[in-house]
Amino acid sequence: MINVEHLVKAFGPKLAVNDVSFSVERGEVLGFLGPNGAGKSTTMRMITGYYPPTSGRILVGGHDMVENPIAAKRLIGYLPENAPGYADMTVNGFLNFCAELRGLQGDARKRAVYRAVELCFLEGVLYQSIDTLSKGYKHRTCLAQSLIHDPEVLILDEPTDGLDPNQKHEVRGLIKRLGENKVVIFSTHILEEVEAACSRVIIIDRGRIVASGTPAELKARSPEGKLDEVFRAITLPDTVKHDANHEVRA
């Protein structure tokens, strides 16, 4: 469903993404892990067509994101980092606007908005303006817009950012359910989310993939079966990495 081939993104002399390749099929939830500045968000922005790649190829549902971006983007729902929205719109107005942008009209639009509101637990704030919402509800509103057209592919950048523990639990469960018949890629800094929702994990560091596998496969690389030990040993700076090597077996 998604094929990323030798993806590179350069910002001047800096290589933010350096020869990244992977594929994701329907029914998979792929967790994207990495320290700050590792290239996670840049990779996701290229997959959605927000950034053009410096080189490499992205296929979404067989459509090349560079050569046929409209067809590829129709298949995608995208939650960007920091959950942007129109502050003066109500939640209801914003979601109806997003549904119209996706070509939904009449009863189809109403059903789409109702479904997104229900999935993201927004009933209690539906007629509040976005600027009056808590950070958590703003994030859930932006998550709802990514679901409004029932896309085949979901790209979610930090989908639980700003949510309280109960909301995080709800969203993790939602991601896992959606991943049963969609392609889901989401980035996170929270390792427990990987175990709760992901069928596969990619760890990226300094623009390159440094590990890939199921959560169980990655945990097996730690003597104590802890994903955080594996993550730290793989992504620590080279100057201190040798001190952590005893924590993780090859």
Record the pTM: 0.86
Over residues 93-110, mean pLDDT: 95
**Cβ pair 187, 206 in contact under 8 A:** no
Nearest C-alpha neighbor of 191 from the set 33, 5, 58, 84? 33
The tens digit of pLDDT for each residue in 139-187 reads: 889 999 999 999 999 999 888 877 788 888 888 888 888 889 999 999 8
What are the tokens at 149? 């057209």
The tens digit of pLDDT for each residue in 108-131 reads: 999 999 999 998 989 999 999 999
Q: Where are the domains of the chain?
A: 1-75+152-213, 83-150
Q: Which residues on neighbouring strands pair with residue 153, listed in sequence order?
A: 76, 183
Query: Residue 224 CB: number of other CB atoms within 10 A?
Result: 9
Q: What is the 3-state secondary structure (H, E, C) of 134-161?
A: CHHHHHHHHHHHHHCCCCCEEEEECCCC
129: exposed, middle or buried (Cβ count in 10 Å: 0-12, 13-18, 19+): middle
The DSSP output letter for 176 is H
In sequence order, the 6+-apart residues with CB closer than 8 A to the CB of 37 are none
Query: Residue 86 CB: number of other CB atoms within 10 A?
Result: 13
> At 9, which helix (H) or strand (E)?
strand 2-11
**15-19, 77-81, 241-245: segment of lowest average pLDDT:** 241-245
Pairing relation of β-strands 29-33 and 200-205? Answer: parallel
Tell me the CATH number of domain 1-75+152-213, given options 3.40.50.10210, 3.40.50.300, 3.30.450.20, 3.40.50.720. 3.40.50.300
